């Protein structure tokens, strides 16, 4: 009997043909697959490429950086990603695509080996695995392809004639919208969500975790840890390598220095 994501037929005791349920697995990206924040990495790369002006987006990038170091607080992504989308309005999609390869490499360097082992285990059992993130689909899909996911759910910015408008093409994939997208995918692909898995570290992903039959919290923030304890959900704690923490702190320091230099140069 298959335990995987591909529907198979079996014969029950009465001799009737039955179809086994399809199972999917949904992984959050930031602090679940990777240790830091994909949003802060995108902001850093876009700033270095001249796509983002720190004078207009410093507060939002600062929030993303804070999330990358200590975890997501309420509404960080809600405020940050839409503002970053505004700042790229008028830039070509080709410019962002030039950032994709180095960004994906950086995220692969931050990938948690423990979570990747879980991903490979689910894949070996035939389950379709999806990467779910509020970050840009251009980056998230490329990372999903590199890691062997079946697909990705992420935020899609509107592009007209190859240029970003600063608006969203689809709902912002954060909080309840992650769950809505998963529900739509499950209906289209005939996944049995009552037997499916979801992994996340953040209370903001509570709707996604509640949608599946097997929610697993990974290095949870304080509010999600409390919910997991109350409901008896599995909790896994992975190590935080010291050298990687220092590497993540490097980006805020560089951005801070650049912002300060820009302020001083205008005096």
* CA–CA distance, 192 with 22 (Å, rounded to integer): 6
DSSP run (H or E) holding 116 = helix 113-124
Mean pLDDT of 191-208: 96
Q: What percentage of the chain exceeds 70 in pLDDT?
A: 71
12 is catalytic: no
State mean pLDDT over 159-181: 91
Q: For this structure, is 109 an active site residue?
A: no
Going from the C-alpha of 113 to that of each of 117, 127, 234, the distances in angstroms are 6, 19, 19
Distance (Å) of CA 117 to CA 28, 114, 267: 15, 5, 52
263 against 203, higher pLDDT? 203
pLDDT for res 62: 52
pLDDT at 1 > cutoff 50: no
In this prediction, residues 130-134 reach a mean pLDDT of 95
**Predicted local distance difference test score (pLDDT) of residue 54:** 59
Given the residues 30, 128, 205, 221, select the one marked as catalytic: 30
The predicted structure's pLDDT at residue 210: 98
Q: For the whole prediction, is pTM greater than 0.85?
A: no
Q: What is the largest CA-CA distance in the chain?
A: 84
Q: What is the pLDDT of residues 16-35, one digit of tens each?
A: 445 789 999 999 999 899 98
Higher-pLDDT residue of 65, 113? 113
What whole-number percentage of the chain has pLDDT above 90?
Answer: 48
Q: What pLDDT is recorded for position 9?
A: 46
The least confident of 9-18, 37-46, 139-148, 167-176 is 9-18
> pLDDT value at position 251?
45
Query: Which entry of 28, 128, 201, 205 is annotated as an active-site residue?
Result: 28
Q: Scanning the structure block, which residue is given the tokens 């990358």?
A: 68
- Lowest mean pLDDT, pick from 41-50, 78-87, 93-102: 78-87
Q: What is the pLDDT of residue 61?
A: 53
Which strands sit side by side in the sheet containing 24-28, from one edge to the other?
Answer: 151-155, 128-136, 24-28, 197-200, 214-218, 235-236
CATH number assigned to the domain covering 22-265:
3.40.50.1000
């Amino acid at each position: 009997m298959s335990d995987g994501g591909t529907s198979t037929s079996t014969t029950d005791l009465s001799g009737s043909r039955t179809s086994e349920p399809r199972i999917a697995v949904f992984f959050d990206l930031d602090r679940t697959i990777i240790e830091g924040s994909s949003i802060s990495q995108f902001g850093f790369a876009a700033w270095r490429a001249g796509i983002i002006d720190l004078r207009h987006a410093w507060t939002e990038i600062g929030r993303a950086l804070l999330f990358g170091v200590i975890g997501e607080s309420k509404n960080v992504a809600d405020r940050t990603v839409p503002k970053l989308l505004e700042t790229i309005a008028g830039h070509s999609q080709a410019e962002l695509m030039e950032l994709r390869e180095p960004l994906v490499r950086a995220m692969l360097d931050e990938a948690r080996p423990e979570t990747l082992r879980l991903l490979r285990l689910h894949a070996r059992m035939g389950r379709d695995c999806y990467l779910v993130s509020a970050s840009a689909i251009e980056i998230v899909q490329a990372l999903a392809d590199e890691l062997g996911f079946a697909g990705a759910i992420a935020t899609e910015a509107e592009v007209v004639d190859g240029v970003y408008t600063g608006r969203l093409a689809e709902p912002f994939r954060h909080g309840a919208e992650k769950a809505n997208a998963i529900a739509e995918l499950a209906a289209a692909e005939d996944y049995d969500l009552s037997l499916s898995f979801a992994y996340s570290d953040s209370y903001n992903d509570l709707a996604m975790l509640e949608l599946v039959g097997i929610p697993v919290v990974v290095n949870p923030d304080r509010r999600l840890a409390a919910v997991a304890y109350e409901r008896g959900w599995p909790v896994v704690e992975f190590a935080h390598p010291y050298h990687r923490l220092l590497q993540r702190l490097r980006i805020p320091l560089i951005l801070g220095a650049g912002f300060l230099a820009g302020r001083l140069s205008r005096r």
